[in-house]
Amino acid sequence: MEKAESSALKEIWGNLLSSPRRIYETAFRSGAPKTDRTRSSFVFGNVFLHLHSVRTHIWSLKWSTTMGLGIISTAAFLITLVTGILLMFYYKPYPDVAYQSMKDIHFVVPTGRFIRNIHRWAANVMVIAVILHMARTFFTASYRKPREFNWLIGWGLLVTTLALSFTGYLLPWDQLAYWAITIGANIAQSPREITDALGITQYFDIGGLQRTILLGSDEVGAEALIRFYLLHVMILPLILVMLMAVHFWRIRKDGGIARPDDADEIVGNEAKTSYPVFTEQPEKTYHLAAIVKGRTPAVGSGPENTLPSMPHLFYAELGVLMLTTFICLALALISDAPLKEIANPLVPENPAKAPWYFLGLQEIVSFSAFTGGIGIPALVWIGLGLIPFLDREKTGTGRWLGGPGGWNLFIWSLLIGFGASVGIEAFAIYFGWLREWFPDVPQLAITVINPGTVLTAIYAAYSIYVVRKHGSTRAGAVALFTCFLCGFVVLTVVGTYFRGPNWEFYWTPSDWPGH
């Protein structure tokens, strides 16, 4: 009797001692990823990792294929997520109080200023990485079949990223924020430029409606602040995360990163030397329990030239994540996020500048609010979304500028994109525009003819010429995309560095009056 009791107690003691090991084993059933088999189950047995396939093609692992830009964007998002949640501990979204809480975060809260700096820098890194990621996908023609839909998801992610960044811009409630949002909200209202000219604003005031819904009031005040806050910390992040989930999932379902047809010959037979996991090429994959018709991209492709994702892919991803974190931390140490005086609705910042990635548009906005703020962005956005459905060609998929025209066309488009945007800016700065020549010109004329639309027309004409010359839609798309990217950079640089008080042109900020 006594013996049985003590042995039961012993057993409990033994179980207790071995419980850490057991907990580990129940969590990671397959054991350490040491063989190809356990490496595979390491991936598909893990809810977070199984978005990846078990093996990754060597082409996708090459740095030059993706440059890690998608992972950089994701990493930057994760950093903003963590730092953003930390900032929410102290931030209070109410006018004036918001500014005080920013001051607290800046001067009182331990590490507050550092966390805010990281948040701001990670947001900027994210915007840049997302734009570059899109450029990479475009220049390697990776949006083609079967990846058209994922390009559209990415297209939505780009807008969501910009919206997140812009809504965050108002929250500090300082002068910078207040006037940028005033301008932003009035851009939302700028369809009035058209409805006014047509005389139908009374009946159909879409501009006014957009502004009222955005601000919840006639002016930028408490209602606007809470709306922007809600968008920034709740609605937009949710949309972003949902789109991201679909984006990642589709990468896998679309057969991984795009690669050229002859990728296998190029990377050689490296993987043949590694242990073959399965040798049969699957004739069907059990897509949705085999009841769905059609073939998935995995059909007909064997394991050749793939490597186990663990460790080859995951270590690369971890490396990029660490690098992104390092860059954000370093930038946050070097440069403080700005915090100007408290918002004053009676005295605008001079110059009042939007976040940097909108300054290119602000250049055009300084001629016509509608064209720069809504017309051209909408045109570019729709054009971007249509790319995969207009270019149905085959050559060059998965290769940097692999299609017709190649690098030559790219260089030419860069030159034309640069020349035209600098030329038209210089012209407008030097000679002025319609209003200066004919003061009575109706606004509609300027809405239609301004440096922004002229530039768009030049780019469009050039790309039509390229389409005819090469007999290829893809060539025209390369020309147009490159030109717009170039114009975007030129206008952004002008708006950021060469515009001073009253949006006047200055060579350097030291020439600004009052400096």
Partner 1 sequence: MTTKPGKEASRFDPEPMPRRDFLGLAALGSAAAAVIFSLFGMLRLPKAAVLTSPSKKFSVTLPDTLEEGEAFIPEGRSVAVFKDAEGVFAISTICTHLGCVVASRPEGFECPCHGSRFAGDGTVTKGPAPKALPWLKVTADGNRLQIDENEEVPGGTKV
Q: Which helix (H) or strand (E) holds 485?
A: helix 473-497
Stretch that binds partner 1, among 117-125, 246-254, 363-371, 396-404 (CB under 8 A): 363-371
Contacts of 430 (CB under 8 A, 6+ apart): none
Q: Does 346 engage in binding with partner 1 (CB under 8 A)?
A: yes
CB of 262 to partner 1, least distance (A): 34
**Hey, CA dihedral for 138, 142, 143, 145, is it positive or negative?**
positive
Six-digit token pair at 171? 């929250």
**Selected range binding partner 1 among 35-43, 152-160, 187-195, 313-321, rule: CB under 8 A:** 187-195
| Gap between the Cα atoms of 222 and 272, Å rounded | 64
Does 428 bind partner 1 (CB under 8 A)? Our answer is no
* Residue 53 lies near partner 1 (rule: CB under 8 A): no
Interface mask (CB under 8 A) for partner 1, residues 109-138, using x and -? ------------------------------
Choice from 35, 38, 186, 201 touching partner 1 (CB under 8 A):
186
Nearest residue (CB) to partner 1, 251 versus 369: 369
Q: What region, left, alpha or beta, does residue 28 occupy, with left being phi > 0 and alpha being psi -120 to 50 degrees?
A: beta
Q: Contact with partner 1 (CB under 8 A): which of 110, 199, 439, 471?
A: 439
According to the binding rule CB under 8 A, does residue 368 interact with partner 1? yes
Does 511 bind partner 1 (CB under 8 A)? Our answer is no
What pairs with residue 505 in β-bridges?
499
Nearer to partner 1, 143 or 173 (CB): 173
Is there a contact between 59 and 304 (Cβ–Cβ < 8 Å)?
no
Query: Does position 513 bind partner 1 by CB under 8 A?
Result: no
Rule CB under 8 A: say whether 199 interacts with partner 1.
no
Residue 456 CA to its chain's centroid (Å): 23
Nearest-Å Rg of the Cα atoms of the chain is: 28
Please name the residue ranges forming H helices in 335-398: 359-365, 369-370, 376-390
CB 186, min distance to partner 1, A: 4
In sequence order, the 6+-apart residues with CB closer than 8 A to the CB of 334 are: none
Q: Which of 270, 341, 504, 511 binds partner 1 (CB under 8 A)?
A: 504
CB of 161 to partner 1, least distance (A): 23
Q: Which two tokens stand for residue 485?
A: 């990217």
Contacts with 49 (C-beta within 8 Å, 6 or more apart), sequence order:
42, 43, 309, 310, 314
Exactly one of 9, 108, 238, 347 binds partner 1 (CB under 8 A); that residue is 347
Would you count residue 46 as binding partner 1 (CB under 8 A)?
Answer: no
- List 30, 35, 212, 301, residue binding partner 1 (CB under 8 A): 212
Residue 272 DSSP class: G
8 A C-beta contact, residue 74 and residue 80: no
Q: How many CB atoms lie within 10 A of CB 298?
A: 17
φ/ψ of residue 57, rounded to 5: -65, 145
Residue closer to partner 1 (CB basis): 116 or 227: 227
Residue 282 main-chain phi, psi, to 5 deg: -65, 140
Measured between alpha carbons, how far is 225 from 177 in angstroms, rounded to an integer?
11
Least separation in angstroms between CB 431 and partner 1: 13
According to the binding rule CB under 8 A, does residue 435 interact with partner 1? yes
Is residue 293 at the binding interface for partner 1, with CB under 8 A as the rule? yes
Positions 218 through 237 that interact with partner 1 (CB under 8 A): 218-219, 221-223, 227
Q: Which residue in 72, 157, 158, 446 binds partner 1 (CB under 8 A)?
A: 446
Question: Under the rule (CB under 8 A), what is the footprint of partner 1?
Answer: 179, 182-183, 185-187, 190, 193, 196, 209, 212-213, 216-219, 221-223, 227, 291, 293, 345-352, 362, 365-369, 432, 435-436, 439, 443, 446-447, 501-504
